Amino acid sequence: MTEIQDALEEIESVVGSDYVTDKDFMKAAYSRNVDPAFPDRWADMIVRPSTTEEVSDIVKIANKYKIRMVPRGGGADLVGGSVTQGGILFDMTRMNHIVEVNADDFYCVVECGITWGALVSELHAKGLTTGVLGPGSGYSATIGGGLSNSTAGFGSTKYGLVPDICLGVEVVLPNPEGTILQTGVAANKYAKPFARYGVTPDFTGLFMGDVGTMGIKTKAFLRLAPLPPLRALRYYMLIKNDYNMVSKLLKQLRDKVGDGISDILVIPYPVVRIQAGIAKNKPAKKSRLTGSVFMIGFEAFDQRIIDVYLEQVEEIMTKDGICRSFEMHEIDLDEPLTTDWQFNLKMAFNYFNRFISIVPDMISCTTCHKIPISYIAEAEKKSHDFDAKFHSEFPNKSLSLFATVIYALPNGNCVFVGGFNGYNTEDQQPIAMNLWHKKLRAQVHYGGAHYWLGESISQSIVEAGAYSPEFAAFFKDAKKMVDPNFLLSPEKFHMHQYDEPLSKYEVEDEPY
């Protein structure tokens, strides 16, 4: 403990004694995130740096004493990504400033601890937007967390994932020198951070979706777009519950409407029924629920254009009686009619919260992953087969959903936002954790691409044997180059030490 105490004192001299703590109740407050299946993890200390230079100095101290480090943004993740057993936990939310909004050249520079809620709110007031609004937990999730987890969220159907709008980052490498780098065209020290590609290979990508393993991101350079002033929303319900039809409709919408659509969320049939069941303000007359519901968002700069999009979508969705127009108001009177609907961030940032704890004191073990849209029906079937085969291994009364939402992304792929719920108690956590890994491995085996990796999902990918030996070696070499003392976010991707093959952690699963 002496080394920890020595390090603490040195860190105090960097940030001041008010901004680093090793008190037990503080550690307890940082001991977990949304995830239910992880045991509590107490850091040795929590530090709230305010500048990139402070981060760099702390990294140097950590290297001096060989103390592990984990950066934490909003602490809103569900996959064990931003807690640490022992070591230094960086609470990055003090670095929450907007450094520059360049409305002429459509980019901004922000500190990575700012939340999506704060940034997007500020941008919208200036008639600008990031397009993709960050993860569903965006009120509390930070820009840094969104980049480190390659997340999707509202706007992703049109604008892509969070890294797609990233033009570069300022990052502190976890090496003994605490090296500070800027990527993107900002690698040219004479250039403004206005573009991602050029000057160097795309080193920005090294830090996207890295779940905090390759460096500590302190600033982000983000692409901006003008904020379309006009928005509309429509719902359509499938007359038959047919996931092949979901794929066909998603393709047709992509083919014929394209960028007019900002969001397509398909709410699977079972979830529609759950939503009808948990609605606080149910209508007297029950609506006839027949299939999955498409929620389609539109945006444009001109009402005439919106009208054309609405007409095109209406034609695609209702042709041959495939779908009917639907209103969420039919199952929940608190939901506005689409004709009265007005965009607000609360909808974008609270949409997913409702599914995290459908049953009190049970929290979702998330299995969010991407698949090609042509594979939706097959993946849905595989998920059901898995649940049936391993039914007895689920936590008691657990509800497993292959997707609470199918979220369309650009280029013909989509996210299955799904999972099952487990109890938030120590005796139940191992049950949920074992099944969680098993289910994730099954999804990796059918070609699913997880993006929000944290610890549980990154380890499951390794356990499933997804990486070739050549790729695993390349990955480790890259990690070793930036983190020679192996201090930043250990455990993720089952990288426990450099001289150990990842294949050691592969798991042979029973077929289903």
Partner 1 sequence: MAETNSSEKFKHLSKLEKNILQCISCGDCRELTDNTLDPPNWGVCVAREHTTGFEPFFGRGKMQIIRSLWQGKLELSEDMANVIFQCPTCNACSKACYYGLNTVDYYEALRAELVDAGCALDVHNEMNQGLLENLNPYGQDNAQKKNWLDQLDFTVKDASSEPVEVLYFTGCTAALSAAVQPVAINTAKVLHKLGIDFGVLGGAEICCGSVAMRTGARQVFQEIAEKNAALFQKIGVKTIITSCAGCYRTLKIDYKDMLEGSGIEVMHTVEFLEKYLRENGIQLKNLGIHVTYHDPCHTGRHIGLYEPPRALLRQMATLTEMKNIKEHAKCCGAGGGVKKAFPQLALDIAKTRIQEAEETGADYIVSICPFCDRNLADAIQETGSAMQVKDLLELVEQALE
Q: Which residues bind partner 1 (CB under 8 A)?
A: 18-19, 21, 23-26, 28-34, 40, 46, 48, 74-76, 91, 93-94, 115, 117-118, 121-122, 124-125, 137, 139-141, 343-346, 349-350, 353-354, 356-357, 360-361, 363, 424-427
Shortest distance in whole angstroms from residue 16 CB to partner 1: 9
- Provide DSSP, 158-227: HH--GGGGEEEEEEE-SSTT--EEE-GGGGSTTS-S--SSBSBS-GGGGGTT-TTSS-EEEEEEEE-EE-
Q: Which residue has the tokens 């120590």?
A: 426
Strand-pairing partners, residue 458, are none
Shortest distance in whole angstroms from residue 75 CB to partner 1: 6
Residue 280 or 504: the one with the smaller Cβ distance to partner 1 is 280
At 76, list the tokens: 């809103």
Shortest distance in whole angstroms from residue 125 CB to partner 1: 6
Shortest distance in whole angstroms from residue 50 CB to partner 1: 10
Pairing outcome for strands 88-91 and 45-47? parallel
Shortest distance in whole angstroms from residue 341 CB to partner 1: 13
Q: Residue 414 in contact with residue 451, Cβ under 8 Å? A: no
Shortest distance in whole angstroms from residue 116 CB to partner 1: 9
Residue 33 or 262: the one with the smaller Cβ distance to partner 1 is 33
Edge-to-edge, what's the strand order for the sheet holding 88-91?
20-21, 45-47, 88-91, 69-72
**For the CA atoms of the chain, what is the radius of gyration?**
23
Shortest distance in whole angstroms from residue 73 CB to partner 1: 10
Residue 94 or 445: the one with the smaller Cβ distance to partner 1 is 94
Residue 244 or 425: the one with the smaller Cβ distance to partner 1 is 425
Shortest distance in whole angstroms from residue 119 CB to partner 1: 9
Residue 122 or 307: the one with the smaller Cβ distance to partner 1 is 122
Q: Where are the beta strands (DSSP E) in 48-124?
A: 69-72, 88-91, 98-102, 107-111
Shortest distance in whole angstroms from residue 260 CB to partner 1: 21
Question: Residue 503 contacts by C-beta under 8 Å, 6 or more apart in sequence?
Answer: 465, 469, 472
Residue 114 or 487: the one with the smaller Cβ distance to partner 1 is 114
Strand-pairing partners, residue 405, are 417
- State how far the Cα of 139 lies from the Cα of 125, in Å rounded to an integer: 16
Residue 23 or 496: the one with the smaller Cβ distance to partner 1 is 23
Shortest distance in whole angstroms from residue 423 CB to partner 1: 8
CA-wise closest residue to 81 among 149, 132, 147: 149
Shortest distance in whole angstroms from residue 46 CB to partner 1: 7
Residue 273 or 354: the one with the smaller Cβ distance to partner 1 is 354
Residue 19 or 390: the one with the smaller Cβ distance to partner 1 is 19
Residue 40 or 105: the one with the smaller Cβ distance to partner 1 is 40
- State how far the Cα of 442 lies from the Cα of 421, in Å rounded to an integer: 17
Estimate the share of the chain in helix, then strand, then coil, as percent rounded to the nearest 5.
40, 20, 40
CA-wise closest residue to 355 among 341, 370, 346, 365: 365
- Burial class from Cβ neighbours inside 10 Å (0-12, 13-18, 19+) for residue 151 reads buried
Residue 137 or 404: the one with the smaller Cβ distance to partner 1 is 137
Q: Where are the beta strands (DSSP E) in 227-290?
A: 230-238, 261-267
Residue 74 or 168: the one with the smaller Cβ distance to partner 1 is 74
Shortest distance in whole angstroms from residue 357 CB to partner 1: 5
- Give whole-number Cα distances, 120 to 98, 217, 321, 461, in Å: 11, 19, 39, 33
> 250-255: which pairs have CB atoms within 8 A and are 24 or more residues apart?
250/373, 250/376, 250/408, 250/412, 250/414, 251/373, 251/374, 251/412, 252/316, 253/296, 253/313, 253/316, 253/408, 254/408, 254/412
Pairing outcome for strands 225-226 and 362-366? unpaired
Q: Which residue has the tokens 């003392």?
A: 485
Sign of CA dihedral 119, 125, 128, 129: positive
Residue 252 or 353: the one with the smaller Cβ distance to partner 1 is 353
Q: Residue 63 in contact with residue 87, Cβ under 8 Å? A: no
Shortest distance in whole angstroms from residue 117 CB to partner 1: 4
3-class SS letters over 448-493? CEECCCCCHHHHHHHHCCCCCHHHHHHHHHHHHHHCCCCCECCCHH
